[in-house]
């Protein structure tokens, strides 16, 4: 799962980013409203966390423009403004939830999970493909009975394949989803990461999931 964090306070954004990355979410940060709005248009984010007081474009304006552009990525407002009118205004503009600063990371995480769960098309939290079992809530991965330890990026890569199962995905799309939205395609790091993931999930033999599509990219076959 990939989260866009639009927050100008570096201390706050570093705290949230670190915490969410520990939970194996991929987090990208925009430090002003203009950059945030631009990045929010990009389809690879599963959730947006939006501060209200931002340089460039304020959070309310950003949210309004985003919803007017028919972009309905789940969005959590995070703000020092905790007046009830601000909450109502934010929710009326199309925010999905609202959390006031200061907040505990535990509460933020619970709300993030709830929003992602609500928007998820999965009917339950666990997906099983051949002998691989993935818990989409806790991000735990099992091969048979053995738990596989994946990094945040490796997990995101696997999850992206699962969400696009049986569909060939080209390298650029993979890279844009798992890494940066404006990444430079001139490297082979996608292949490097995929080989690393294959090794970790012991993706060989008759249960092999991730197949190379020559000259294009990869496909996860169920
Ligand atoms: Ca701010």
Give residue-wise pLDDT tens across range 94-152.
999 999 989 999 999 999 999 988 766 544 578 888 889 898 878 889 998 899 999 88
- Report how far ligand 1's centroid is from the alpha carbon of 159 (Å): 32
Mean pLDDT of 77-97: 88
Mean pLDDT of 180-197: 77
Rounded-to-integer distance, Cα 175 and Cα 206, Å: 27
- Report how far ligand 1's centroid is from the alpha carbon of 52 (Å): 6
Convert the pLDDT of each residue in 15-66 to its tens digit.
999 999 999 899 999 999 999 999 998 877 889 999 999 999 999 999 999 9
- Report how far ligand 1's centroid is from the alpha carbon of 198 (Å): 41
- Report how far ligand 1's centroid is from the alpha carbon of 90 (Å): 15
Is pLDDT above 70 for 180? no
- Report how far ligand 1's centroid is from the alpha carbon of 15 (Å): 14
- Report how far ligand 1's centroid is from the alpha carbon of 114 (Å): 24
Q: Which CATH superfamily is domain 2-120 in?
A: Response regulator (3.40.50.2300)
Mean pLDDT of 57-78: 94
pLDDT at res. 123? 43
Comparing 177 with 158, the larger pLDDT belongs to: 158
Across the chain, where does the E strand assignment appear? 2-6, 26-30, 47-51, 75-79, 97-100, 126-129, 132-135, 141-143, 146-148, 169-170, 210-213, 217-220
- Report how far ligand 1's centroid is from the alpha carbon of 55 (Å): 8
- Report how far ligand 1's centroid is from the alpha carbon of 181 (Å): 23
Q: Which fold has domain 126-220?
A: Arc Repressor Mutant, subunit A (1.10.10)
- Report how far ligand 1's centroid is from the alpha carbon of 21 (Å): 21
3-state secondary structure of 149: coil
pLDDT at res. 79? 87
- Report how far ligand 1's centroid is from the alpha carbon of 53 (Å): 4
pLDDT at res. 33? 97
Mean pLDDT of 187-193: 84
Domain locations in the chain? 2-120, 126-220
Mean pLDDT of 67-71: 89
- Report how far ligand 1's centroid is from the alpha carbon of 141 (Å): 36
Residues 6+ apart with CB under 8 A from 118: 74, 96
Burial (CB count <10 Å: 0-12, 13-18, 19+), residue 77 = buried
pLDDT band at 185 (very low <50, low <70, confident <90, very high): low
Is residue 55 within 8 A of residue 77, CB to CB? The reply is no
pLDDT at res. 181? 58
pLDDT at res. 208? 92
**Distances from the Cα of 156 to the Cα of 2, 112, 135, angstroms:** 8, 16, 12
Residue among 38, 15, 37, 17 at smallest CA distance from 28: 17
- Report how far ligand 1's centroid is from the alpha carbon of 13 (Å): 10
């Amino acid at each position: 799962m990939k989260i866009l964090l639009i927050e100008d306070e570096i201390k706050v954004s570093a705290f949230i980013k670190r915490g969410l990355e520990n939970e194996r979410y991929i987090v990208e940060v925009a430090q002003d409203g203009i950059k945030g709005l631009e990045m929010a248009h990009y389809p690879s984010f599963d959730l947006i966390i939006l501060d209200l007081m931002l340089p460039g474009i304020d959070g309310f304006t950003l949210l309004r423009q985003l919803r007017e552009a028919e972009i309905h990525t789940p969005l959590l407002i995070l703000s020092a403004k905790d007046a009830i009118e601000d909450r109502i205004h934010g929710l009326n503009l199309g925010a999905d939830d609202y959390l006031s600063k200061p907040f505990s990371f535990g509460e933020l995480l619970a709300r993030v999970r709830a929003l992602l769960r609500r928007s998820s098309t999965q009917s339950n939290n666990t997906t099983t493909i051949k002998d691989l079992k993935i818990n989409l809530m806790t991000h735990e991965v099992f091969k048979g009975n053995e738990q596989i330890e994946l990094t945040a990026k490796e997990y995101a890569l696997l999850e992206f394949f699962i969400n696009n199962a049986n569909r060939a995905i080209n390298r650029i799309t993979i890279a844009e989803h798992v890494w940066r939205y404006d990444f430079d395609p001139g490297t082979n790091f996608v292949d490097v990461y995929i080989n690393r993931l294959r090794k970790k999930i012991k993706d060989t033999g008759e249960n092999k999931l991730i197949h190379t599509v020559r000259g294009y990219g990869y496909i996860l076959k169920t």
